[in-house]
Every structure is written in C-alpha cells, then in structure tokens.
Amino acid sequence: MNTERDSETTFEEDSQPNDEVVPYSDDETEDELEDRERAVEPEQNRVNRDAEENREPFKKDCTWQVKANDRHFHEQPHFMNTKFFCIKESKYANNAIRTYKYNAFTFLPMNLFEQFKRAANFYFLVLLILQAIPQITTLAWYTTLVPLLVVLGVTAIKDLVDDVARHKMDNEINNRTCEVIKDSRFKIAKWKEIQVGDVIRLKKNDFIPADILLLSSSEPNSLCYVETAELDGETNLKFKMALEITHQYLQKENSLAAFDGFIECEEPNNRLDKFTGTLFWRNTSFPLDADKILLRGCVIRNTDFCHGLVIFAGADTKIMKNSGKTRFKRTKIDYLMNYMVYTIFVVLILLSAGLAIGHAYWEAQIGNFSWYLYDGEDATPSYRGFLNFWGYIIVLNTLVPISLYVSVEVIRLGQSYFINWDLQMYYPEKDTPAKARTTTLNEQLGQIHYIFSDKTGTLTQNIMTFKKCCINGQIYGDHRDASQNSHSKIEPVDFSWNMYSDGKLVFYDHYLIEQIQLGKEPEVRQFFFLLAVCHTVMVDRLDGQLNYQAASPDEGALVSAARNFGFAFLTRTQNTITISELGTERTYNVLAMLDFNSDRKRMSIIVRTPEGNIRLYCKGADTVIYERLHRMNPMKQETQDALDIFASETLRTLCLCYKEIEEKEYEEWNKKFMAASIASTNRDEALDKVYEEIEKDLILLGATAIEDKLQDGVPETISKLAKADIKIWVLTGDKKETAENIGFACELLTEDTTICYGEDISALLHTRMENQRNRSGVYARFVPQVHEPFFPPGGNRALIITGSWLNEILLEKKTKRSKILKLKFPRTEEERRMRTQSKRRLEAKKEQQQQNFVDLACECSAVICCRVTPKQKAMVVDLVKRYKKAITLAIGDGANDVNMIKTAHIGVGISGQEGMQAVMSSDYSFAQFRYLQRLLLVHGRWSYIRMCKFLRYFFYKNFAFTLVHFWYSFFNGYSAQTAYEDWFITLYNVLYSSLPVLLMGLLDQDVSDKLSLRFPGLYVVGQRDLLFNYRRFFVSLLHGVLTSLILFFIPLGAYLQTVGQDGEAPSDYQSFAVTIASALIITVNFQIGLDTSYWTFVNAFSIFGSIALYFGIMFDFHSAGIHVLFPSAFQFTGTASNALRQPYIWLTIILTVAVSLLPVVAIRFLSMTIWPSESDKIQKHRKQLKAEEQWKRRQNVFRRGVSRRRSAYAFSHQRGYADLISSGRSIRKKRYPLDAVIADGTAEYRRTMES
C-alpha cells in the first residue's frame, strides 16, 4: 500500500464537519486557512512565516493599492496591463457595466462571423461561390442567394433587437447618479464616471454603485444600515461601521476633499463575507475588514447619508465577480439537430458521388457515342463525372435545409412572446409579468429532469408571521371566540383597542385577547412582556409610527406580535428599554444582554424592574432551553406536546423562560461578566462560559410558533412537478433545521420520509469506495460492472447535507502547502513520476467519489443542501449535469444564486423585492415560484412537442422535395438536370411550404393547458426524448424518400404514351415539372394538416393559402408578360396554363396525393386505436375531463411525543445588535473619542473590582 504523502495536504483532515457554519469562502487563500491552525502549527513553520512577514509586510496578498482623491495615482505605468500588442490599459476597472455584445461598428462583421460559424450557413456560402463557376453550376445563383439573405437577415434582426435591449439596460444602470468629490467639492456624477479612489456620498435608499470603504455617516459612530437583498435575497438589515478615526475627522466636505489615505488590500475576488486590508493615514495603519465595506448592489437604509472611498469598481466588484462565467447555452435538440444535419451532409456527399460515378459510366458507355449530345468539350468521362459531383452538390443542396435554422429561431421567438404574454404568469401585486430573457431554450423547458432551487425568497416569501403560541401549557391560535368555543368561520381579532397596533397581524383566537385584558393568568402578560423586552431590535419613528429594524425577520415578527397584543417596544438607550404595557409606559434598566450565536442558540436579557427586582428573560431553541430549566417546572410536558403539534404543522418554534435573580447573585456574576468583556484573548469563549453560569434553573413560560410563510402554491407546484418525474433539490445557505422545516412545509419531505444526513451517507460512500477498490484488482476486466443501489428498494428517502459535509464527501476541502523547508535542487525523474502518479490517483479517487455521491443522491426522492456557498451550489448542479447527463434547471432570487443559474442548462430568476441580480443572469424570470409549473408543464411541454413535430416534418418535406431530382437522374443520364423550375426551387422553402409549418411550431397543442397541468405525467415524453431522436429522424427520412418515389413515378407512368384531349402529348419536361411540383405542394401541405392536433382558422388559412399562393405565383411566372421583361430568368412561358387545363393532369395530381397520404392516414388511425398514447387518451375524453381537479394538501398525522422535528431558527446567522446596543454605539449622543470611551470603561471596571 502506498503511504506516500504529497506536499499538498487537506485542511483539517481529521476534523468533523461543522453543520452550523458555512464552509470556507470560495476564493479562500492558503494563508487564511493557516490562520485557523496557528495554535497547532509546528514551531519551525511559525518561525519561517514570521521571518517572511517581517521581511515583506503586506506584499504577498495585499497587492491592490488605492489612493484617495488621486486618479493619476492609478494611471502609473506599473498599474498598466498589456491588452493587445502594445495597447495597454489600467488594471483598475472603470465603473461602467457592459453586458452587450455589439456596437454600431462591430455589429455587421461580428454578427456575420458568428452566423457563418454555423455549418449550414457556411455550407450555403460555399455553395453560392460554386454556383458562380459556369462549368459546374446547374442552378441559377438566386436559388441560393435569396434564402441565404432571408436567413441571415432574420437572424441579424433578432440579434440586434436582443442587443439593443442589453444596451438599454446597461445605460440605465451606468447613467444612475451619485455625488463624487471633484475639484474639492461634491458634484453629481454618473456611475460610469466613478473611478477607484473617488470619495462619494450616498443618501438614504440609494443603491451602492461600487465596493466602497465606509468613511463616515449621519448615524452615531458612523453606523450604516444596508439591505443586502440584491446579494443574498434577505430583506433584513445588516449594519456596517466606519473606523473611529475616519468617523471623527471625515464628516465635512472640506475634510473629505483633503483626505489622502492610502489603502493596501486584497485583489478583487468573489468572497462576499471577507475583506482584508489596511488603511495608512496620519502616519498610522488601521486594519480593515468586511464590516467596514459597503458592497455594490446593496441599498442604504435608515441612514440619511454616508461617505465612502471606492475600492473596487465595475467588473472588479464582488457582485460582478460572483456572476460566474457566462456560458453559451444550447438545447439538447440543438445538438441533436446539428448531428442530423451532419448526417444529411454525409448522405448528400454519398448521393452526389454515386450519381457522379453513374454519369462518368454513362458518358463512357453512351454519351461519347451519341453525336447529338456533343457539347463542344472534349473532356474525359471521369472529368465530366468530377464536374457533375459538384453539380449534384448544388442540385441536391436542399437536403441540407437552409431555412431550418431561421425557422427554428422564428418559432422560438414566437414561443418566447407567448411566455411573456401569459396572464396566468403575471403577478399583479408587483406588476411583474413573466419574461423569457432568451429565445433559444424554450423546448428544453419540456425536458427537465432536475430542479435546483434556492429557499429564501424563492420557496418562501422571507416573511415571518406569528401564528400560535403555548402559554402555561395552554395552546392559543385556533379559531375560537372569547368563550373558548371553536368556530370554522370567525372574524379576525380586532386590535383597534391598542393604539400601537400596526394592523398587519391576522389572529383568530379571541380567547387570548380576553386573557390578556382580564389579567387572570399573569403568565400570559409575562409571556408577551418577554417578547417585547428580550430582543436586539432597533426602533425609530416615521410619521408618528413605530418602525422596527431587526437582525432577522423572525425576531421582528415576535416583537411586532407583542406590540399588537398590547406590549409595545417603544425606545431604548444604552442602559434602558421602554415598554408600553397595555397603554402604560414603563422603563426598565438593562443590566446585561447575552446575545445569540449559533452555538448558544438562545439570547437573554437581564433587567431591573422599576420596583427594583432583577429578572433574566431568555428565549431559544427547545433543545438548549430544556437543558437549563429548573427541575420543578409543572408545564414542561404540556409545552413539549405543544411543540410537537407546532412541529407537525411545520411552524418554527422558540421556548420562552425567565428567572428571578437575587441582588447578591447578580453582583457576583457581574464581576465575572465585566472581566470576560474586556478579556484580550478568547473573549467570546469567556463570555459564553459566564453566560452559562446565570442561564440555569429557568422557569418555563411557554413557546412561540412562527410561520416562515411559503409563497402561494409552492406545495402544489412541487407535488405536480414530482408527478412529472422531476426531482427537486433545495440548495440554501440557511441552517439545517430551517431547511428541513421548509422541506416539510412545502411537502418535499413527509412524515414517511426516511432522512439521511451527511454522516450517514459518508459511511455508505466509504464502504462503496472500499468495495470498488477491492474489485479493481486483476480480475476487474473479467467482471462486468453492475450498478448496485445504495438503498434497498422501496421506501421514501431524502438526503439533507450541509456544505461542510459536502466538501468532506466530495474531497473538495481546501488545501494548503506545507511550509516544511524543501531542498532547492530539482527532483529526480523518479520523484517526478511518483508525484504525477499520486496526483492521478487522487484525481481518480475524487472523480469516483463524486460519481458515487451523485448516484446515491439521485436515489433519494428529495435532496436538501444547506449552509452551502454560491460556488458549492454551482458545483452540485455541475456534478448532476456531468454524471447523470440530465437536463437541469436552477431557480433563485439573489446574487448568491447567479453562479448556479449560469451553470444549469436553464436558469430562472425570481423577480420582485429581492433584487434583480439573479434575474439579469437568468434565461427566464417571473415573480412567484408557483409559475414554474406552468412554465414547464405547459409552455415547456408544448414547445418541445411543437419543435419535434416541426423538425420531423421539415426533414420529411425537404427529402420529399429534393430526392425527386435523384429519381429523375436515372432518366437523364445522371446529368445533374433539375426536375423543377428554378424559381420553384428558390421559393419552395421560403413561401410555398414555410407558413403552415411555422404556425404548427407556434400554435399546436395536443391537450389544453388545464389538462397539461392536471396530468403532469404527460411531461415524461420530453424527458425520455420520445418525440425526436435518431429513430424518429430516420423514419421521417424514409417517409420523405417514399413520398418522393411516389411523386416522381406516378406522374412518370401517367405521362408515358399519353395523348391530351387536344390530340397533343403533354409529356414534355416543363409540363412534367409542373405536375410533380403541384402534387408536391398539395401533398406536403395536406401532410401538415394530418400532423396538426390543434386547429385554428389561421392554420387552415395557411395550408390552403399556401397552395393558392403557389398556383398564383406559378401562373404569374409562366405568363408571357414577365417572360418579355426577363427572358433569361423566366423560361416556362405558358406551361402552367397549358398543362393544368388537361383533366388528365389533375387526375394524376389527385392520384399522386392520395397514394402519398392514404397510408399515413391508415397508420395514424391504427396507432390511435390500438396503441394510443397518454395524450391520445386524454384528448379522446377531454370533454369528461373538463371539470378541474382541486389540489388538496397532504394531511399530517400527529403522533404524540414522536415528532421531534423543530426549527428554532428565530435569529440571524450572525450575532444580533446586542453588542451595538450595550456599548451605546447605536444611540444618538455626543460623540467622544474612542480612547476616552475605553479609558472610562476600564476605570469603571477597576472601581468595581476595588469595591
């Protein structure tokens, strides 16, 4: 066994993944990884690193340099990069965003270049050149030029319209304005004019134009509140805070204009949560982190104004770096269609070569000995055969359908407009219609196997609603009156008696209001008082109304609920909090705030009442609260049962408790608390330890139940998509408990589902890898590989895995280079070979492990990945694409979903309050998740069926048209003579047969939209590629061959030894060509009538109109008048009128059409009678199925004491605002220098210790 260790070692190899934390950032550097292991690193490594850092401070990673108010600094030669030959540009991007492809000068050449990259377009360009050579041309040049110009023109117009829309969107963003310091004062400037190093001013509700360093703001201590919905879909506010030094000295315009700070920081990257840098100013350096950076795309909230220094602009900003690589997306049918076109190329070459050989043989046997065929050229038969090869390439060129691509584009464009115009996907509340942002992927919507969905803002509204509660063992929240009588229909509670009610809470339990107002049970009032006092919510007044800003929507919902029930949080200072208790204002002294973190899963507050009593109020997850309860809690079991009921209803729960504290106990504890607060090392651990001492022997009050409100129709949509055999994976940055709870709420998970977690599947995958390694020995080549399932058959399983476990299982953990000193001389060849082999083994192991994981995950009915980074979301999508070869769709609403949206075959953006970054990167967008079922089951399925029918028919009609030349060759000495008039060849695909097939591709539907939604099982035909594949392609080709055979030989037989009614023989070449052409046009247009499932007036008009158009144009082209004007171009003078006045010709045409179509009718009838498809059955009984089926939610079965599934996620991901509140930094007061505040705090602590 090879035990050699490579110098590349995995980070924390022996550590267990932590489910609570999001794993490393996407671009984490090796040094950052090492920072986590400083405590255990070897001493020699530390010495080496210290020496290196002392020698080159800030030069290794902090290479991005920014000088405030100095644009010339960034134009220095060493900041220039060579772009093209001697052309150089600054490495600092300007702030203009460019998503368009063309400008006025590049449109024509670039668009033509892109179009001629298509094999068919380039082929026809070559064909046009060949037709200009007199020796080989057999058709007039216009037969190719006219269709080619139409194709190029239509595609160019479509591309132009798309690019103009991009230009408009770019201009809208780039021309937004903000204030920038120019010439020592603030001036209005456009976003595109902003450069790195500029100092800008932003006002309330402004979008942030670039990544900027916060210098100062209108808030105390230069706090700045931002909404990050554009980045992560979360609408709760985050706070940023400037450096104390910039807060003090950079408030006024003249000081900001004179600011000459110098910043060294990391290079632009996609890490939204990390920033490392240093500000050098006034001969002092100040460390910078992510809490001082405002990111582009965020919105300034609750802050009148703020000032910032631009660090990264335009393409260098983090939101743009997170956009991922833009991929050119093509559908599965596109690839298949291209392969089929290549197949037709091969057929064309083989036919041309065969006919050319036939001509050479015919020349050798007959042509050379027929004096009347002498053309004045003394060429050899082989040379004539060679020329005829190119002649037949030209004659048979319509086998490769030039109008195929442009027709496909027109159909896709029309289908895109149908999506845009669909009123059932229009969201009136936000005035947001559905939008097809691309026109090239519509039919792929009918072939989706896997959907990858974000949670926050996509499945949920990110709106928390107070639904129920349990107080002193009694559950409140059901529909009942003040006398505890239950009613199915009852009016909501009227909160008008409460002057602070916000009017937004809808609550139906009148008995709870009765209890609060009567006050018979003090625990009820105590319960809501706790909600009003134990939180980190900030409050301000707007137009006399209270406005709460919470660190998480859960906490905001709880405080708002207390407000509506009569306990309104009014205001707070650093040391006090004021509550309105049923109209009476009372102020409490806040002695300590014990903030939430992901380990504690609770928060507490210690207050002194006006009467002098000290109380601790605590709220948190039941798992941590129950461990800290006093032994004598009478309502412990009743509350436990209530929690189980709430959990079965997929509500998010919190337990509330309190504790009376003696004065002496508090004073002793407070000394420890103050000591831990100013600890210089491990402060958080010390504080948590002190918190544990006071948070014990708690008295349970009850529990809250909050609904993380799903978007309307989410469970119904997921249920229907599951019936369509589409698997849904949820990829979210939320905690495991939250994601699991939402899985149950939207019925992705049920009580019957067996849930597997990361640790469970890690063992399964390890066992599988061991088995595969054992089987990969000498006998592996003799044993056929069999797919072994990971789970026994039957049963409903789901996988819930965190980002940390995902990295562990997929061997994606960050690597760091060992700092062990290496010898400087080169390695030997043997060492180099061993190293290469080791890397290959690691790569092979990683690939096998990833494939095993995908196989395992795909055996589960649902997969939820939580605490994952944007990069991991894209990685999961890519794994399924790579190993399952399945069509994927990703749907999200924030910038953290952009990478996933771009990686999937189809990306869908949810538009609305959560920002537009995901929408701008998506292929389709709409306002609600429920519209996804209509997009896929209706528009997607219809688009797939229409495109498949269109392609099958298109190949059929072109083969039926072109192969008549082939049969004709056997009777003209293989001379590349055409069987039709040149103008008929030119207009066949452009006019005579184009409109009916286009309308079928746009309007056809096998069943109605309501039946498509009612029977999702119809969707599987697209997933299995049943309607268009190589078998269907060759059937269409065979159909075309047989039709061409009939079209040629029946008129040929009819014309042999025939005399017209005028005594003349109509069997001349031109009359024969008109007869075949007329039969062809009628046949192919009637054939599309047989293929049409959904008849409208437009369809019928197009079919009969195309036939009438053919005859009308033919009679015009065969008239004497046009021949006089253009004698060389129109040579079939009088042919149509002469031939078609013969009844015999019309009988021949009718017979030919009948023989071509009757077998098709017979086969269709037998097929629908004996082997009907699912859609045939539904179509047959559509009248009985018109009554719409109502979807019913699955009933949850509550089993007392069994369900332990709860989500206590009622806090933000990070700590709340407690540190800001208790330190007073968020309170408006006279500003003091930082050192004075620290000195005062230290002195106070010393006085306390001495006493």
Spatial contact of 174 and 98, defined as CB atoms under 8 Å apart:
no
Please state whether beta strands 435-436 and 924-926 pair in parallel, antiparallel, or not at all (unpaired). antiparallel
Phi, psi of 727, rounded to the nearest 5 degrees: -95, 140
Q: Which residues, including other chains, have CB under 8 Å from residue 605's CB and lie 6 or more apart?
A: 533, 534, 535, 590, 592, 593, 594, 616, 617
Question: b/e map of 62-101 (b: 16 or more CB within 10 Å)?
Answer: bebbbbbbeeebbeeeeeeeeeeeeeeeebbbbbbbeebe
Structure letter (DSSP) for residue 777: S
Distance CA 84, CA 88 (A): 7
Cα–Cα distance for residue pair 13/808, rounded to 1 Å = 9
Strands of the sheet containing 211-217, edge to edge, are 185-190, 177-182, 199-203, 305-312, 211-217, 293-294
The active-site residue out of 159, 454, 554, 1091 is 454
Determine phi and psi for 94, rounding to 5 degrees.
Answer: -80, 175
Cβ-contact 205, 299 below 8 angstroms = yes
User: Which of 432, 438, 232 minimizes the C-alpha distance to 902?
Assistant: 438
Rounded CA Rg of the chain: 38
CA–CA separation, 930 vs 715, rounded Å?
Answer: 9
* CA–CA gap between residue 580 and residue 569 (Å, rounded): 6
The pair of three-digit structure tokens given for residue 760, joined into one six-digit string: 């469970």
- Inter-residue contact 723 to 1017 (CB < 8 Å): yes
The C-alpha atoms of residue 587 and residue 609 are separated, in whole angstroms, by: 8
C-beta of residue 113 within 8 angstroms of C-beta of residue 129: no
Least Cα distance to 239 among 636, 551, 515 occurs for: 551
Half-sphere exposure of 296 (CA within 13 A, CB side): 29
Q: What is the helix (H) or strand (E) element at residue 925, kind and residue range?
A: strand 924-926
Q: Where are the alpha helices (DSSP H) in 1026-1119?
A: 1030-1055, 1069-1091, 1097-1117
Q: Which two tokens stand for residue 905?
A: 């075959």
Q: With beta carbons less than 8 A apart as the criterion, state whether 31 and 60 touch.
A: yes
- Whole-angstrom distance, CA of residue 603 vs CA of residue 691: 10
855 belongs to the catalytic site: no
| Crossing angle between the packed helical segments 553-564 and 522-533, to the nearest 10 degrees | 140
Environment class of 503 (CB within 10 Å of its CB; exposed 0-12, middle 13-18, buried 19+): exposed
Distance CA 247, CA 222 (A): 6
Tokens of 248: 């003090």
Look up residue 1095 and give its two tokens.
């008849």
One-letter identity of residue 31? D
* Helices (H) then strands (E): counts for the chain: 42, 37
Half-sphere exposure of residue 687, counting CA atoms within 13 Å on the CB side?
A: 20
Asked if residue 95 lies in contact with residue 314, where contact means CB atoms within 8 angstroms, the answer is: yes
* Residue pair 600/607 in contact by the 8 Å Cβ criterion: no
Find out whether 259 and 68 touch, Cβ atoms under 8 Å.
Answer: yes
Q: Which residues are part of the catalytic machinery?
A: 454
